Structure 1
Amino acid sequence: MPYLTSPVLAAGTLAGGPQPVIPTGDGLLLRPWRESDAPAVHAAFQDPLMHRWHLRASDSEDEARGWIEEWRGEWAGERSAQWAVVDAGDDDRLLGRVAVHHIDLVDGVGEIGYWTVPEARGKGVAARATSALARWALDETGFHRLELTHGVGNDGSCRVAAKCGFALEGTKRSALLYADGWYDVHLHARVRGD
């Protein structure tokens, strides 16, 4: 039985070319992950705040290296697209990660995710990177809708969502299992044209 609509994003929209480098225009760069980022990723996941609001832990640099290999492969499968957020200057210092997860090409929908290293917090890094990624996804690539979720109580993520124009749409009850139990989750979203 034929569908009455065409996919919002054709297969190959992402994987048909290399993963782009996305400048934020204000000193940050979103670039594909490199194997050499593994020590910095492992170090970032030793932070207690990462343990509080993230679902994974990193026990070794080898494990982080495996994640990076996985993240790099997701571009080809068009399931997820992940970038290292780095200082655009000469040092290429890792400041965080930004991603579009759970990509649905048919509906043109994805879910934004991000984290920052401790020394990058409070400097607008997550918001600047998220804004640049949203522009790329919605304006340049043709996604229709981007969602952003975070555990209720994660006030920093709520501020990032609001600053980046992701409207609060509601609360998903008991939707995420963190290390200390089930949490309600705020659902924010931006649609093309917002």
Structure 2
Amino acid sequence: MSSTPSPFPARMELTGEGLVLRDWAEADVAAMPDLFDHPDIAYWTPIVSPFDEAAARTRLDRARQLRAEGTSILLAITLDGGAPLGEVMLRRAPEGTEIGYAVGPAHRGQGLAARAVRVMAGYAFEELGVANVILELEAENAASVAVAAASGFRLLGVPLIEGEEKGRPYTLQTWGLNRP
């Protein structure tokens, strides 16, 4: 019996909640620094900082590699399949099927992250057949706590995850959402 996860589709586009979640494209590289080169993203996420065009190219290449390996999907959050406004990620991990997200500073306050998380969770439940999905976030990250709550996630009574990223210690809570 193989423990290799089933592969993800080579190309993806998920729609719902007024969003189109689509593959990152070469044309997005120039727009990615405006989305990801921000102190909030540098502080709260493992996304590299500073985030310039070279970092964007590396992220695009890594997204394609992770997809091919069957471990992660990174999709651009858009309203209509056009300009990227942020990113939503699904990662198969030992601790569970995890969703992550980042929304560009100019596009916050529109419910994009919560809507993208719900669409990605729907994909995980319907297409991947998982029983639940998780978010791992810091309790002090009020915006992410709000996204978790708005997406229907509940704080799980599991041990905190402690680590260090970019020289900063962190403690993550695990939030979960079960298949409806």
Does TM, normalized by the shorter one, top 0.5?
yes
Which residue in 2 is equivalent to 1:148?
Answer: 135
- Among candidates 88, 105, 123, match of residue 80 of structure 2: 88
Q: Which amino acid is 2:176 matched to?
A: A
Cα separation, 1, equivalents of 2:45 and 2:17: 28
* 2:11 aligned with 1:19: yes
Write out aligned runs for 1:30-179 (5 A): 30-55=21-46, 56-88=48-80, 92-103=82-93, 109-170=96-157, 172-173=159-160, 175-179=162-166
Cα separation, 2, equivalents of 1:36 and 1:192: 35
> Are the aligned partners of 2:24 and 2:60 in contact in 1 as well (CA < 8 Å)?
yes
Structure 1: gaps (5+ residues)? none
Q: What is the CA deviation profile of residues 86-132 of structure 1, one whole-angstrom value per residue up to 9, with x for unaligned ones?
A: 1216xx1111000112445xx9x311100000111111000011100
Cα separation, 2, equivalents of 1:168 and 1:143: 19
TM-score w.r.t. length of structure 2: 0.87
Structure 2: gaps (5+ residues)? none
Query: Following TM superposition, where does structure 1 have runs of at least 4 consecutive aligned residues deviating by more than 6 angstroms?
Result: none
Cα separation, 2, equivalents of 1:65 and 1:58: 13
Cα separation, 2, equivalents of 1:37 and 1:69: 12
> Are the aligned partners of 1:58 and 1:64 in contact in 2 as well (CA < 8 Å)?
no
Q: Which amino acid is 2:71 matched to?
A: R
Q: Which amino acid is 1:119 matched to?
A: A
Greater Cα radius of gyration, structure 1 or 2: 1
CA drift of 1:179 comes to 4.2
Question: What is the aligned-residue identity percentage?
Answer: 28
TM-score w.r.t. length of structure 1: 0.81
Q: Which amino acid is 1:169 matched to?
A: L
Describe the shift of the 1:174–1:20 C-alpha distance in structure 2 as closer, same or farther (beyond 3 A): closer
Q: SS in structure 1 opposite 2:10?
A: coil
